[in-house]
Amino acid sequence: MAILSNRWYNILPDLPKPLPPRDPKSFDEHSRIENLPKLFPAELLDQEISPQRYIDILDAVLEAYRALGRPTPLVRARRLEKLLDTPAHILYKREDINPIGSHKSNTALPQAYYAHRENSAYLVTETGAGQWGSAVALAASRFGLRCLVFMTRSSYRQKPYRRYLMRMYGAEVVPSPSRRTRLGSILLGENPEHPGSLGIAISEAVETVLQGDGYRYAVGSVMNFTLIHQSVIGLEAVRQMEEEG
């Protein structure tokens, strides 16, 4: 029986050479590195630049992982092997079996937990098709946070069931661009039927967090800590393949 990994893997120590240090002077006026502590919990920023190869997963996050079906099954794709006429064994992880239907809860859950531990009240994010927003909504509800999701307006209209799912988990779902932010108000003033974009939704989420108190931003990609959290998939796969010989 597969055992859930109790730690994440961080690739930074294994890079061929260290990443160059961040120099605040190299950032222009639109890339203010000092805003990061206002957006993310301190623990996530520590993970972002951590020199440790392995980072312990706290018990509360492990329990949340188990509740969503981790470790996920490792399945052999025998029909694909036959179709390709290959002697190789092809295996894949079933990250689709949890209620969200994707891998995205692997990082949404720890992000929500660290925000909760800092006594934040709100977790704010953006979503396009709705999978990431659903993952954040579920994670926020798990740790008693309120959740605000800016959903690209075109998807908000085209994918009502994702919107229903997020609201079922307690999230407030807002079509983006919206009147909730300065940027959204400007764009709607120019075009009341603006279809939105993921970039606009990100901007609205970030603007909301920077101007509010007790808000934290949840991000599904881009940052190293999201990569760290997703390593739970590979670590499980290694153990499962060892068990199968």
193 and 83 in a common domain: no
pLDDT in tens, 78-92: 999 999 999 999 999
CATH code of residue 195: 3.40.50.1100
Cα–Cα distance for residue pair 125/147, rounded to 1 Å: 8
163 and 63 in a common domain: no
Cα–Cα distance for residue pair 80/84, rounded to 1 Å: 6
186 and 89 in a common domain: no
Domain count, the chain: 2
Residue 8 in any domain: the answer is no
| pLDDT confidence tier of residue 30, bands split at 50, 70 and 90 | low
Residue 35 pLDDT: 85
Q: Given a cut of 70, is residue 62 above it in pLDDT? A: yes
Q: Given a cut of 60, is residue 1 above it in pLDDT? A: no
Residue 209 in any domain: the answer is yes
Residue 19 pLDDT: 83
96 and 109 in a common domain: no
Residue 194 in any domain: the answer is yes
214 and 145 in a common domain: yes
Of 234, 242, 243, 245, the C-alpha closest to 92 is: 234
62 and 48 in a common domain: no
Instruction: Give the domain range for residue 201.
Output: 36-53+103-224
